[in-house]
Structure 1
């Protein structure tokens, strides 16, 4: 008998796990959340002109130290320094003038956890690539709004996202973080929705990484050469959409562009971004991407992470006290006006919140968990995950599974037993601290199958031989495999790895029907043997 042929494809639903709890599927609750978020859009904000005028009036009132602290960050929450209560990026406020502190955190899959106590108090949403796979602007806006709400619950007011580089390197280590997928036009549409979702909640969005940071390999050394046509037709499209949506800030990239580092490149920062696109906000550097103070004259406004504490009481930063004091005040005021224009445009001064380092309570509090549960963020994450799935082939109508079609299912593969396994969580800036209560794929499948009295079993161990032995006794086998993805390194291959290949080979030689559930960090290479056996491919 020929094997059932069924294909289901989702490009990286998430390198993180989804919330499979019952309340996550509460559709009426989800509709209520949508109405609540719609109401928040009525919050009043200043126009760009009003914000610019207010910034121009206030900047001359800043003392030299106050002006300097706007242009450079202080502390870095992931350096292991003893001071608690800091975020990934921190800009001190000026209380006497009503200026709030800027508290920045990454958001590749939700609020990035930098303290162990943060884990489990926020939602792990599907990654940006999964959102791109939904082709759903309204849903992307809803997810972004939910993320921004959790940021506010953690005391943060700047989302370091969306990441919108276009996938031009299939093995790119950060592809799971990028909302654009492979298409600049799709990225543009979804970027606008994401920026709106975040900023309608009174939180600033930051479009990154500008520009041409499409790979991780030698990202701080590579020199991207781009023609005018390729820039504007493909790579710039999502950034232009972010600008048109009113994004508050743009982050410049590590790499060089046509011979000059992106954060020092006046051609892309001043000519392309500010003049041609009409950008009104400010430009911050990627972390440690500023190389000299001359970057301020080229279009950079803020150094991140700024001054970092080093051993023995020393500090590191390009804009040291000595260097920044010697710079022309007019140049510094120009950068400060850009920063404060965004602050006033989005009304961040109206909700200042805590000021680092006095944000430990907000960062570690369980109040955000109450927000996520009370406002149905699990339902939003679940809907986004489900919407990213694409059915490509369903020969013999194998799906949906039911008691009449199968009686015994075997679930095999290392990834099926651990919802928060390190190999299946996007690493680096996109990392979200997993919730220890998250259910594994095996647990979720077993619970659902039990409703139809379908038996679900798993092997004692994780070897290919054990999986193959169990496969012969099942009507259907679900193979759950994966590969990691991380900032800082591209995948060495699109193959699934020798262990995974052996597992799939062994199971498909014994089982009449196989479901292959993949959790890859980049586009997987599907070999001919998989297509011949009609595997169901689901990238989660």
Structure 2
């Protein structure tokens, strides 16, 4: 039986295969073709016109990377020389340009979330987009909503934003808008359920001694998928994101780039995504299967990085020639890629890549992998502009004041300042001394892995505070630094003389291909690194005015020292980027009144979070099974459910002034009745004709680069050209039912042209509160609106709206926000739709998840 989109998708997303008792991802075919819906119409029209004039080989070139280290960027497709179009350049990272020079080192995503400031998210996105654009990058590989932050010790949580889907979704959307307004395609990643580094790739895990043959399976039920992990990707699609990267892990035992349910059903059908899906590097697992499952671009093109083999390239050409993959599917891949290209205006602002990811030398091999063709690689174009000022501001505005017993702000009249801790100082090897920041030497300003960028410089806290004293002090202050955590005797001596001891500590994490001190990407525990707890206790025993500054990717355990009476201040500064020292000095000395809020919960124990990492194989040599059995209850939702008292709750942060909340009002707005989407798509469009096999032989006179991935074939005998010993087997034996069906398909009830059914995004309520600055200095407050959905299986409350507002002392500000239908809906698995349940719903407003002084029942929507 051939299944249409609807019939294949009505199965539960995590149904169980009884034979193996493992989570199962049901098939969903065919892969939806793009339509140009919403604000994609013009870009789609231009893409169709462009692709209609391409040969099959040229379409294939758009979809397939040239191979690892074959071109300048970390990933680069083939070009279309006939039209003067060079290959499309994909470049890390979500916080700046990786493996480049004369670029900025921005703050991490987690810092953006800590600002709770959508404007800053946009400005950072715009600045990063400008730098990528002027280096010749077509696609910036970010921002990140996977990992969302299921586990605080997950290695790459800092690349993303927050374990709350609303906070992450908002920051995702505004970052995307900024990047794409600069003329660069953003790439929302990693789709989906990519919540830990352990076992994300079988080969990587084998390198660490784990005897497994398949990558981890994140087993997620349908409700949790929709209400938690998919939520920020909805916001990304609504923001117009041009590309989405599928992840290394499996979802319900189907690989992320092979998963027809997550790609075809959730992303392309339900959310109406009009851009293209690219694979993570090495996450492409099959030729025909992944094409039919919804993958549009193979990165970096080779089966194994650095090999001469590709699932696509030549093999995609053969699959089209022999009819295994329908022409409309390849046309759709190319149209999606070019629609994203036109949507952000790449045709107007494009320059060739002017740097190399593989060497900082000015001259080197154009094809680095195979040492061919010496050229000038690095043109050393400076793209930094004035972005340092924005990085400094974001670093300060993301610093969370967790404790203050009147010690802050400092006054410039301190008698003796001790700066204590390795985290205050420089890496002896230099700011970029460890490849991809794969160490924890000196002050920590970003984690490690592909989500990094080279620093142009790194201002350390030691440098900034010493300059502060020299430039703005009274000339009488003594300032000394001890940046060796092991020198306990000297630390104690300096602390005992200090009128204020500033203690800098950190914990690090990153991507799984780098192991730092036994931390295989994920953190081994939630303690501070480099004996940080001992450093803090030594300082506090010798100075009754000890202030602790933490640079960490997420929460650490602070229960042994946070309430020490000699610790008068605690600040979390996250991973603030190149201006780290200046940012923290701005806060310490009161030029910036801290207004940040913690974007995650600080628990008393690791166990309090639930959602443990899986660190030991549990399925023999097969895919380790990570069951997301906690459902939607992660971070503060889990703490609320279990009545667990946090040390610092989600959304908490102090200021140098005080705020009060009053006068909550709610108004039901007129909204249309929610109706499910009905009808069918149009027939899959076919653009042009494939032609004969002889049309795709290697062109005469072409200079073939070793291991370079081409779309051409060596022989008109397709079996011979493929080199595949299984070539010619019956397609029906391996092609899923309905996968090649280009006839009109039924629309899903919850689907829509931009993120889902349009009725979900209609405003149902307006909520207004008054916020008053009752202190003596100007400050920023973050009003936060939470909703109780009222059901027995619902979280106690969920964040639904927020903003950051500046209020003068003694002044009042009226904050008004709205709640959409999505905000008060729950995902109903049987109907595969969003529903507003018949339960009492309540809105709460305050300045943290545990300080919500205002509440009001939501009336029936009009």
**TM-score bracket for the superposition, by shorter chain length:** 0.7 to 0.9
Bigger mean CA deviation after superposition, 285-294 or 325-334: 325-334
**Distance 1:92-1:256 versus aligned 2 partners, 3 A rule:** same
Q: What's the counterpart of residue 30 of structure 1?
A: none
- Tell me which protein shows more helix as a share of its residues: 1
Tell me the secondary structure at the aligned position of residue 306 of structure 1: coil
Quote the Cα distance in structure 2 between the aligned partners of 1:427 and 1:184. Answer: 24
Alignment match of 1:205 (pick from 171, 175, 186): 186
Q: What's the counterpart of residue 386 of structure 1?
A: 396
Alignment match of 2:310 (pick from 317, 320, 327): 317
Q: What's the counterpart of residue 447 of structure 1?
A: 467
- Report if aligned partners of 2:422, 2:482 keep a CA contact under 8 Å in 1: no
- Report if aligned partners of 2:354, 2:379 keep a CA contact under 8 Å in 1: no
Alignment match of 2:532 (pick from 475, 478, 500): 500
Identify unmatched segments of 5+ residues in structure 1: 1-45, 78-82
Aligned pairs (5 A) from 1:51-200: 51-77=43-69, 86-97=72-83, 99=85, 101-113=87-99, 118-119=100-101, 121-165=102-146, 166-179=148-161, 181-200=162-181
Tell me the secondary structure at the aligned position of residue 220 of structure 2: coil
Aligned pairs (5 A) from 1:333-352: 333-352=331-350
Aligned pairs (5 A) from 1:125-524: 125-165=106-146, 166-179=148-161, 181-220=162-201, 221-293=215-287, 294-307=289-302, 315-322=308-315, 324-327=317-320, 328=325, 329-354=327-352, 364-368=378-382, 371-373=383-385, 376-395=386-405, 397-404=406-413, 406-418=414-426, 420=431, 422-423=439-440, 424=444, 425-435=446-456, 437-450=457-470, 451-452=472-473, 453=475, 454-459=477-482, 461-462=484-485, 463-488=487-512, 489-497=521-529, 499-524=531-556
Identify unmatched segments of 5+ residues in structure 2: 1-37, 202-214, 364-375, 434-438, 513-520, 574-862
Tell me the secondary structure at the aligned position of residue 396 of structure 2: helix
**Distance 1:69-1:52 versus aligned 2 partners, 3 A rule:** same
Q: What is the deviation of 1:513?
A: 1.3
Quote the Cα distance in structure 1 between the aligned partners of 2:295 and 2:484. Answer: 54
**Backbone CA RMSD of aligned residues:** 2.4
Quote the Cα distance in structure 2 between the aligned partners of 1:243 and 1:349. Answer: 22
Tell me the secondary structure at the aligned position of residue 261 of structure 1: coil
**Distance 1:358-1:258 versus aligned 2 partners, 3 A rule:** closer
- Report if aligned partners of 2:354, 2:377 keep a CA contact under 8 Å in 1: no
Q: What is the deviation of 1:334?
A: 2.2
Quote the Cα distance in structure 2 between the aligned partners of 1:156 and 1:204. Answer: 9
Quote the Cα distance in structure 2 between the aligned partners of 1:161 and 1:381. Answer: 18
Q: What's the counterpart of residue 3 of structure 2?
A: none
Q: Deviations over 1:399-428 (max 9, x none)?
A: 111144x21011111121216374124111
Quote the Cα distance in structure 2 between the aligned partners of 1:47 and 1:178. Answer: 27
Bigger mean CA deviation after superposition, 524-533 or 170-179: 524-533
- Report if aligned partners of 2:257, 2:295 keep a CA contact under 8 Å in 1: yes
Quote the Cα distance in structure 1 between the aligned partners of 2:354 and 2:64. Answer: 14
Bigger RCO of structures 1 and 2 (CA < 8 A, at least 6 apart): 1
Q: Deviations over 1:413-472 (max 9, x none)?
A: 11212163741241111121123x433211111111232232211238542222112211
In the superposition, the TM-score normalised over structure 2's length comes to 0.52
Q: What is the deviation of 1:227?
A: 2.0
Quote the Cα distance in structure 2 between the aligned partners of 1:510 and 1:58. Answer: 71
Tell me the secondary structure at the aligned position of residue 531 of structure 2: helix
Quote the Cα distance in structure 1 between the aligned partners of 2:68 and 2:570. Answer: 40
**Distance 1:310-1:270 versus aligned 2 partners, 3 A rule:** closer
Bigger mean CA deviation after superposition, 63-72 or 209-218: 63-72
- Report if aligned partners of 1:162, 1:207 keep a CA contact under 8 Å in 2: yes
**Distance 1:486-1:157 versus aligned 2 partners, 3 A rule:** same
- Report if aligned partners of 1:75, 1:309 keep a CA contact under 8 Å in 2: no
Quote the Cα distance in structure 1 between the aligned partners of 2:396 and 2:417. Answer: 22
Quote the Cα distance in structure 2 between the aligned partners of 1:303 and 1:366. Answer: 29
Count of paired positions:
474
